[in-house]
Chains A and B, each alone.
Chain A
Amino acid sequence: DIQMTQSPSTLSASVGDRVTITCRASQSVSSWLAWYQQRPGKAPKVLIYEASNLGSGVPSRFSGSGSGTDFTLTINSLQPDDFATYYCQHYNSYPYTFGQGTKLEIK
């Protein structure tokens, strides 16, 4: 199985900040990577697919980059709604594993 490792596990930031979350795969997943946002008690929502494509209706302050084994999610100018938990997931080969999550907290 491909292991996905996110860092950091927790991130403290303020409204207006720019933050970056990284995701590393244990082997190449090409560009078959998605980023999801999950708010407490809610289902995940796709932000980025195929590593760098913005999901439908997702604000342009979110962006993704990377390929192979190293990926990043960047959020520019943090908004109050952005404080949530973020997960990466590869869909290169079964099983489609998730990273352990990054909780973005208000500083």
Chain B
Amino acid sequence: QVQLVQSGAEVKKPGASVKISCKASGYSFTIYYMHWVRQAPGQGLEWMGIINPIGGSTSYAQKFQGRVTMTRDTSTSTVYMELDSLRSEDTAVYYCARGVVPAAACDYWGQGTLVTVSS
């Protein structure tokens, strides 16, 4: 069955970086794009960007440009999301979610990774 398993919770200090992994299984990794979406405590969903698993090309929301990097490792069917220069407002649950083409709804989601930014 399709699974997206994310790495565990992280606690970071302001100014630090965090790198979250999302390991895919149960389907052909290179067929589906991967999105990253975050949700601050008690808030709504925020789309961060997308990565094409075949060539690794990415598109990021303007808000995160320059601070986020999405990469993939096809040998392990894993995508990564690294966010730099963390601030308290980055405290959120981060989700990976797959879509069959860039313009498609996300049909499977990871379980989420809580990142807490606190001094």
A: which residues have CB within 8 A of B?
Answer: 1, 32, 34, 36, 38, 43-46, 49-50, 55-56, 87, 89, 91-92, 94-101
Contact = CB atoms under 8 A, between A and B. Distances in A.
B111 A49 contact: no
Contacts of A95: 47, 49, 61-63
Given A91-B103, A91-B104, A98 B112 contact: no
B50 A94 contact: yes
B45 A87 contact: yes
B35 to A, nearest CB: 7
Contact of B44 (A1, A32, A94, A98): A98
Interface of B: 35, 37, 44-47, 49-50, 59, 61-63, 95, 97, 99, 102-107, 109-112
Contacts, number: 62
A92 B107 CA distance: 17
Contact of B107 (A55, A87, A94): A55
Given A43-B111, A96-B35, A89 B47 contact: yes
A89 B45 contact: yes
Considering the complex of A and B, which 10 residue pairs feature the smallest CB-CB distances, nearest first?
A34-B105, A43-B109, A49-B105, A95-B61, A98-B45, A101-B44, A96-B47, A94-B59, A46-B105, A91-B103
Contacts of B62: 1, 95
A53 to B, nearest CB: 9
Given A43-B112, A89-B47, A91-B103, 4 more contacts: A43-B97, A91-B102, A91-B104, A94-B61
B16 to A, nearest CB: 25
Contacts of B50: 94, 96
